[in-house]
Structure 1
């Protein structure tokens, strides 16, 4: 009798992120991690215990996230896809490293997708549940963030989650957006961030050097931003560990 065929490409959980540092602490928890390039996207695969995860690194922005999510689904057919990574806080009380789980994702153009998740909110321990908004470019200033919060009743802002949600809806895949706060509402992000961060998520060295020459104090600001992002990625990895296990066990 023939043995049943095993689809080695199939993944139990797919994760979509823009930047490598957003997902690296989570990948450090996985075993047998392999990396490959497909088109203009970087893929990683590995095992969290017995759970096979596939990750695509999209680069920055809506269009890239949409195409990369479709590529992930085509290659690995995961039943669940998670939009993960950093986000900006839209509420003054939120802190760096806090986690936001989306109940809906909207944008500035009137699009919104609801997400029927049932996570117990626990702000005291840094877990928020509610709306995430997508913008067309990085929201850099505290003033812009507070205006978005008031206008859209949103907790956090990112650039990619709605794109991932739309592809998952069309493909009839389970979807969650889980984001870690990497910049709170205490200070503006340095203006150089937009020019330094290329669309693929790679830091543009020339732009970074130019920024330092033009405004030397930007070095201190960017080091702080990197430290905040590193702590957010570590907290995100810990939270994702539990979510991935729960989603897998619910299916099995």
Structure 2
């Protein structure tokens, strides 16, 4: 009797992130993680217990996220795709490390996709549920964040979630956007952040060194930024472990 053919490329859950740092803490919880490149994107796959996960690291920005999400779905056909990573808080009550689960994703140009996510909000323990907004570039200043929050009634801002949502809608895949706050509304991000984060999402060491020479006080700001990102990644990794497991169990 012939055994049913197993699709070894298939993944139970797909995850889309811009930066390796955003997903590293989650991958540390997985086993048998392998890395490969496809086109200009970095893929990683492994197992969280019995759940097979596939991750694509897109680099920064909407267009790259959209193309990489399509590549992930074409290669691994996951029934669920999660847009994960860092975001900037638009609500002054939010702290670094808080989690935002998106019930809708919009942009600054009037596009919006609603997402029927039933998730219990718990702000007291750093879990927020509501609208995410995609900006065209990193929103660096507190003034700009507060303006966007007032105009769009969004909780947090990132650069990629709407792109992932659009591809998932077209491909009829389950979608969630889960973001960890890496910068709050207390201070501006250093202006150097835009030049240091390259388009591919790989930190540009040369740009960092150049920034320090031009503005020596930026080194303190960048160390704080790195510490905040590390805190956000740790919380995100822990939260994703629970979500990925629950999504898998709900299907099986």
TM-score (norm 1): 0.99
Residues 17-54 of structure 1, C-alpha deviation per residue, up to 9 Å, x if partnerless? 00000000000000000000000000000000000000
For residue 207 of structure 1, report the CA deviation from its aligned partner: 1.3
Match of 2:29, SS state, is coil
Partner SS state of residue 190, structure 1: coil
Within the alignment, does 1:31 sit opposite 2:31 as a pair? yes
Determine the C-alpha separation between the residues in 1 that align with 2:41 and 2:196.
19
Matches within 5 A, 1:70-85: 70-85=70-85
Q: Does 1:220 align with 2:220?
A: yes
1:37-90 Cα shifts (integer Å, max 9, x gaps): 000000000000000000000000000000000000000000000000000000
Aligned partner of 1:192 in structure 2 is: 192
Q: Distance in 2 between matches of 1:175 and 1:210?
A: 39
- Corresponding residue for residue 172 of structure 1: 172
The offset of 1:205, in angstroms, is 1.8
> Deviating runs (4+, > 6 A) in structure 1?
none
Q: State the distance in 2 between where 1:92 and 1:228 align.
A: 16
Give how far 1:226 is off: 0.4
Unaligned runs of 5+ in 2: none
The Cα RMSD (Å) is 0.4
Cα offset for 1:210?
Answer: 1.1
- How far does residue 196 in structure 1 lie from its aligned partner after superposition? 1.0
| Secondary structure of the structure 2 residue equivalent to 1:26 | helix
Instruction: Give the paired residue count.
Output: 252
> Scaled by the length of structure 2, what TM-score is found?
0.99
The answer to whether 1:61 aligns with 2:58 is no
Partner of 2:237: 237
Distance 1:175 1:4 in 2: 28
Aligned partners of 1:69 and 1:210: how far apart in 2?
Answer: 33
| Residue in 1 that maps onto 2:52 | 52
Aligned mates of 1:225, 1:14 — CA distance in 2: 28
* Counterparts of 1:184 and 1:249, CA distance in 2: 34
